Amino acid sequence: MNFKTFAELIELKAKAASVFPFLLGLAYSLYHYQTANFFPLFLYFIAMFCFNCFVDIWDNYNDYHKAVDTEDYKKNTNIIGRENLSLKTIRTLLMSFFSLSLLLGLIVAWLVGWPVFWLGLFCYFVGIFYSAGPKPLSSLPVGELASGLTMGYLIFLICVYINTSAVFIWDFESLGSTFLVALPSTLLISNLMLANNTCDLEEDEANHRYTIVHYIGRKNALRWWTMSIVVAYISIVAAVVLRLISPLMLMLFLLLPFIVKQARPYLQRQVKKETFIISVKILLIFSFTQTILMLVSLAI
């Protein structure tokens, strides 16, 4: 297996969906609490990255085995069949990534507190059953909620707790504040899944996967995708008004012309190999700028 195939197998190009919430959690901890706990944070990053790799390989593995469209999807679309990958190698990678992630996660929980264990357990549940079982989450109209909540918010929340475990209070104010700050990431990551399901609507239906797009239709899915970006900006303004983040974060509005320009081709044509990448670009640019502005606000 060469690097290009391995990168596609673990969906390396989409790893920013988990890396940026982590970085934002670190920046928010430094900005709002003036503290960080770097050693367990480093272990958590490795554990999070390994589990993310496991989930993507697991997703491809389950899709390969459950494919109804064996002539086209299984042989020509799914990377395992297309590249004729060894199932033994795939299972070895799955076990390796999962075991390392679990071991490091338990060490982090032992170092900073068991809330990490319970939050991580929920993430593991979502990650495993996202593509496993008779009715995987990815084939139900809850995939967007599951991916957005776990990757956009819980990765961020765990990061904040690791840094602030000595002072963090589990109350409505703390949870509401962290959720509002992480809401743009949550919505844009959810948009990735929504765009993926919109592009794959016919293919999913052929393989008996009935996502939210199947139920609400392509036009409403596009409206939802657009509204999520609008709400992401509203949440930035609300977080600034509530003094949870620096007014410098309002510079994210300078990205609007770029986002509008990027969104137009996707709203016109939803083709996986041509326009799905637009959702990835919007997430990357928005999250990168959001993180940089948070770090710059620390210096100021």
pLDDT digits (tens, 9 = 90+) for 185-221: 999 999 998 998 898 888 777 777 788 888 998 899 9
Domain presence at residue 8: no
Domain presence at residue 84: yes
pLDDT along the chain (300 residues), means of 10: 78 79 92 90 94 88 69 67 80 93 95 92 89 78 88 94 91 93 94 89 79 90 95 96 93 94 90 86 91 86
DSSP designation for 96: H
pTM here?
A: 0.89
Domain presence at residue 221: yes
Q: What distance in Å separates the CA atoms of residue 20 and residue 118, rounded to the nearest whole number?
A: 22
Give the pLDDT of residue 88: 87
Helical segments of the chain, H only = 3-9, 16-28, 38-66, 79-82, 87-112, 115-129, 143-147, 155-164, 172-199, 201-206, 212-241, 256-268, 277-299
Q: What distance in Å separates the CA atoms of residue 154 and residue 147, rounded to the nearest whole number?
A: 10
Share of the chain above pLDDT 90, in %: 51
Domain presence at residue 6: no
Could you tell me the sign of the dihedral formed by the alpha carbons of 216, 217, 223, 229, in that order?
positive
Give the pLDDT of residue 67: 61
How many Cβ atoms sit within 10 Å of the Cβ of residue 222?
A: 19
Give the pLDDT of residue 71: 60
Domain presence at residue 200: yes
Domain presence at residue 251: yes
Give the pLDDT of residue 178: 94
Print the domain residue range for 232: 17-299
Report how many domains make up the chain: 1
Give the pLDDT of residue 16: 75
